[in-house]
Chain A
Amino acid sequence: MNQTHDDGILKVRGLRKVYGEGSKAVEAIGHLEFTIRAGEFVCIVGPSGAGKTTFLRCLSGLLKPTEGTVILEGREVTEPPADMAVVLQEYSRSLYPWMTVAANIELPLKAVGLTKTKRKKRVTEALHSVGLSDSGKSYPWQLSGGMQQRVAIARAIAYRPRVLVMDEPFAAVDAQTRADLEDLIRNLRSELGITVLFVTHDIDESVYLGERVLILSSAPTCVLKEVKTNLPAERSQLITRALPEFASLRTEVYETIQYAKGVNYYTAQPQPENENRDEGRDKVAT
């Protein structure tokens, strides 16, 4: 992989998010700190209620963190960055039902200001690479769930981001479709050479897809553990999942998550990744 960037394309530094004020304050993120190198495929898993959505909204510039920064390509994220595309779990809500599939994919390209010919070309390419060449004129609601999520992915890759962020994108599709989509996203990643940050609650999925898996604690969230997968770059649903390394990685992640359900930023054992946390901070009720 192209690990030429010394200090990473995406850096999260001391991120903390508290909702509300005073006695009713709820701390969603305690302290998040990690770095992703260019071209990497990183999965994030955590127990339910780990503040993953809050974290992603901070990361994508939709929500202002209480403390800390997100740095994308050396610049602090204060608004949705141009080099990032986000694919959400709720495909039926993120695609606009009043537009055809092709128009949905084209819309962000209009916002960038591409000419019409360039837009059409990119839409065609993107639809082709997700295997939906014939569906451009359909409306999203005429397609199955899996196909709608392919459209959302096509919209993201047509945008040509450097970082692709995915929030439990396959949680709402059936198992067979899910396996197809997992392979699709692996292939697209190696074709386009983009960086992928993939949030999921599925342990197998995180091990299968990622080169590195970050395991989060319960809220207030921190990174509990980082697992390098070291699986072969070429992955296959049948072969990779049958590897003994896969099974042991799976167990490792599983055990950490079971442990994570009971701990948060304030009660977790110190990990190498987040030693420099600020112990003097006021503790807020979880």
Chain B
Amino acid sequence: MKRLGAWAFFTFAVPVVLIIAWTIASETSDTIYFPSPIAILAVFPDTWFSGAISGDIFPSLSRLAAGFGLALIAGVGVGTLVGMLKPLRLLLEPIFELFRAVPPPVLVPIIMLVAGIGDGMKIAVIAFGCVWPILINTVAGVRGIDEVQLDTAASYRFSGRLRFVSVILPAATPQIVAGARQSLAIGIIMMVISEMFAATNGLGFNIIQFQRLFLIPEMWSGIILLGLLGVGLNAVFKIIENRLLTWHVGLHAAEK
């Protein structure tokens, strides 16, 4: 009981103090840019719970899921192939590095030019931004597979499919997951930017609208919602990562 109390104190003390300080500061001054948390909380339900979930949050998240999913499939697929064939890898690696070095936000105007401002553009922007870390990490992961593991697969005459599903993919998973974690952060940025740049719905679009209309508490509620989404997506990713990599953690603990 005492330990639970200590945990609660250390976990919540600073956030509570910060929120109180913010409240006092904004209530006692006349800044309009930093409304008090009470004011933000007051507009939160009306701003986001009345139709906005299906109208804004859902489209944003499904575009992110589609773009990230496409990047994952393409990155792992192409990365495996390139990782297995050394000449292909040597040929393509500098090209991948060049594309990875492009700051992803500049893709928005380019892809907008080609694909307009619809969902397709946003999904393409997210996918194109996310694919490089996954691709490059997959190549590194496949390339680093222990030769004994591949020899074993060959000497037991595994078919191509079995070899891919049961040997190559799991062996490269730790690296792929590390790449996917970088990609997820980029994906969220791209989701928001594409909506801020050109959209008629979505979180990024709404937050910018609120800012332009000087609806400051609403704008802050959107920022907080985005923060919550970031924290939530990160937590989901951690859960999936733990499931996929239980063996990897155990193996490393056993080797120590």
Contacts and interface: CB of A to CB of B under 8 A. Distances in A.
A61 B167 CA distance: 19
A85 interface: yes
B149 A94 contact: yes
A94 B254 contact: no
Interface string B228-256: 00000000000000000001101100110
Q: Give the most central of B149, B156, B248, B251: most A CB within 10 Å.
A: B156
Contact of B156 (A139, A141, A159): A159
Interface stretch (B71-79, B114-122, B158-166, B208-216): B158-166
A136 interface: no
A88 B151 CA distance: 10
A111 B170 contact: no
Given A93-B146, A98-B171, A111 B250 contact: no
Q: Per DSSP, are chain B's interface residues mostly helix, strand or loop, or mixed?
A: helix
B173 interface: yes
B254 A80 contact: no
A80 B170 contact: no
Given A96-B170, A98-B173, A110-B162, A139 B250 contact: yes
A262 interface: no
B156 A85 contact: yes
The interface centre, meaning the residue of B155, B157, B251 with most chain A CB atoms within 10 A of its CB, is B155
Nearest to B147: A93
Given A62-B154, A110-B162, A111-B157, A96 B254 contact: no
B156 A98 contact: no
Contacts of B155: 60-62, 80, 84-86
A182 interface: no
Interface residues on B, range: 20 to 34
Contacts of B167: 96
Contacts of B152: 86, 88, 94
A97 interface: yes
Contacts of A110: 162, 166
Interface string A90-101: 100110111100
Contact of B154 (A80, A85, A107, A159): A80
Contacts of B251: 97, 139, 141
B95 interface: no
Interface string B124-156: 000000000000000000000010110110111
A108 B148 CA distance: 15
A126 B170 CA distance: 25
A197 to B, nearest CB: 14
Interface in A49-66: 57, 60-62
A141 B154 CA distance: 22
A142 interface: yes
Interface string A107-133: 110110000000000000000000000
A233 interface: no
A237 to B, nearest CB: 30
Contacts of B157: 79-80, 82, 108, 111
Contacts of B170: 96, 98-99
A141 B250 contact: yes
Which of A57, A79, A94, A99 has the most chain B CB within a 10 Å cutoff? A94
Contacts of A88: 148, 151-152
Given A62-B155, A80-B155, A85-B156, A96 B149 contact: yes
B156 A142 contact: no
A115 to B, nearest CB: 16
A97 B247 CA distance: 6
Nearest to A60: B155
A17 to B, nearest CB: 16
Interface of B: 146, 148-149, 151-152, 154-159, 162, 166-167, 170-171, 173, 247-248, 250-251, 254-255
The 4 A-B pairs with the shortest beta carbon distances in the complex, nearest first, are A108-B156, A93-B148, A98-B170, A141-B254
Interface of A: 57, 60-62, 79-80, 82, 84-86, 88, 90, 93-94, 96-99, 107-108, 110-111, 139, 141-142, 159
